[in-house]
Amino acid sequence: MHNTTPLYEELRSLRGITFASLNIRSIYRKIHEVNLLLNKSKLDLLLLNETWLNHSVGDEELQIDNYTSHRFDRDAGSGKRGGGGLLAYSRNHYNFEHVFDWNVCTPDIEIQWLKLSLPRTRPTYIANIYRPPEGNLENAQSIIENKLIDIYAERPGDIVIMGDYNVDLLSWGNNVVNKYKLFLKTCRLTQLISVPTRVGNHKASLLDHVITNREDYYYQSGTLDLGLSDHSLIFAARKRKKLHRVVQRMSCRNYRNFIPENFRCHIDRTDWSSITHSQDANVAARLFHETFMSVADIHAPIKMINVKESAPAWMSGDYLAHVDERKFLSKCYRKSPTDLNLQLKTESINRTKTLAESLQRSFFQEALQRTLVT
């Protein structure tokens, strides 16, 4: 039996893949507490911001058994000395990759990107962020938007952005909050945390956010006060298995064998006397409905059909024509697997993929521009 304190039982009891984030406000003297947190809770990914690390602290001083550390200290791009900094601990049980080329460090925001690869699913992209309170919000959002455009073009499984965004979502009527919520809506993102993440003497604030484009992938999220800083730990649990699309169904009548003349004859032969003799209008209406529908069910019975999802807004007629061409050439290759047919099929697949990426990129750029104008 595992010896866990009540403080970590909630995290350890979470099913699926568990992500957590904390504004640590200097990790160097708290590394033992972080080690305890990971070993007791068995989190799969812990994202830390405001680590306050620099070159004087070696990587070996940050190592924790069964975890890989991914470090991104604040650099000259922030325009500041010291402070800031991001650090991630990923459990070795899963395949997490630090995407160094995507990291960002500016005066307005610091972002560290990781990629989680799971079997038979599209990758999950995770952003560890810290936005300084004095940073320009529009510049920070622009940086995130540009990267989201690139990621959406690659059709990811899901995107998760976690960290201290320094936008208090409990400040109702605040213009900054309104713009932030519009930014989330335009980027098709949902913020999962709804309770304060920092509680001071006179004010409670929701500054630390868990943002995702696939809310349905996450069955639980929340906060936990660890006492490691003045911020609470935020967490989210992701389902392990690939989610299958839920097919929407609706009922309709089957008119394949419907003959109007036979239906009229059946109506004429039906006994309607119980309706005409009824003294209660409500009863008569109910009897009429039941009698009429019983006849209709014989001539046009009810059936269930699948409802197709509407095509994404970025799909154009040109793209659909490319898809038809791709299907046709693939069919030709299956019937006659020659080198020429293989070449034509491959070229068509590549053209269709390139066009899809271009259309998606343009669509999201235009949508985000409309948000900025608004």
pLDDT of residue 1: 38
Average pLDDT over the chain reads 89
- Percentage of the chain beyond pLDDT 90 is 67
CB 5 within 8 A of CB 40: yes
pLDDT of residue 2: 43
User: pTM of the prediction?
Assistant: 0.72
Residue closest to 109 by CA, chosen among 164, 150, 151, 52: 164
- Residues 36-90 have pLDDT tens digits of 999 999 999 999 999 999 999 999 999 999 999 999 999 877 778 788 999 999 9
374 pLDDT higher than 60: no
User: What would the pLDDT profile of 256-289 be if each residue is shown by its tens digit?
Assistant: 999 999 999 999 999 999 999 999 999 999 999 9
pLDDT at 373: 61
**Any idea which residue has 């708290």 for tokens?**
30
User: Which residues have C-beta within 8 Å of that of residue 356, sequence separation ≥ 6?
Assistant: 319
φ, ψ of residue 265 in degrees (nearest 5)? -65, -40
Choose between 363 and 135: higher pLDDT. Answer: 135
Alpha-carbon gap, residue 264 to 87, rounded angstroms = 76
Q: From residue 213, how far is each of 45, 147, 157, 159, 273 by CA, in Å?
A: 18, 14, 9, 6, 60
| Confidence at residue 115, expressed as pLDDT on a 0 to 100 scale | 96
The stretch 348-367 carries a mean pLDDT of 84
pLDDT in the model for residue 247? 66
pLDDT per position as a tens digit, 211-243: 999 999 999 999 999 999 999 999 999 988 655
* Mean pLDDT along residues 159-184: 91
pLDDT at 3 over 60: no
pLDDT at 308 over 70: no
Share of the chain above pLDDT 70, in %: 93
What is the 3-class SS of the chain, one letter each residue?
CCCCCHHHHHHHCCCCEEEEEEECCCCHHHHHHHHHHHHHHCCCEEEEECCCCCCCCCHHHHCCCCEEEEEECCCHHHCCCCCCCEEEEEECCCEEEECHHHCEECCCCEEEEEEEECCCCCCEEEEEEECCCCCCHHHHHHHHHHHHHHHHHCCCCEEEEEEECCCCCCCCCCHHHHHHHHHHHHCCCEECCCCCCEECCCCEECCEEEEECCHHHEEEEEEECCCCCCECEEEEEECCCCCCCCCEEEEEECCCCCCHHHHHHHHHHCCCHHHHCCCCHHHHHHHHHHHHHHHHHHHCCEEEEEECCCCCCCCCHHHHHHHHHHHHHHHHHHHCCCHHHHHHHHHHHHHHHHHHHHHHHHHHHHHHHHHHHC
Split at pLDDT 50, 70, 90, the class of 309 is low
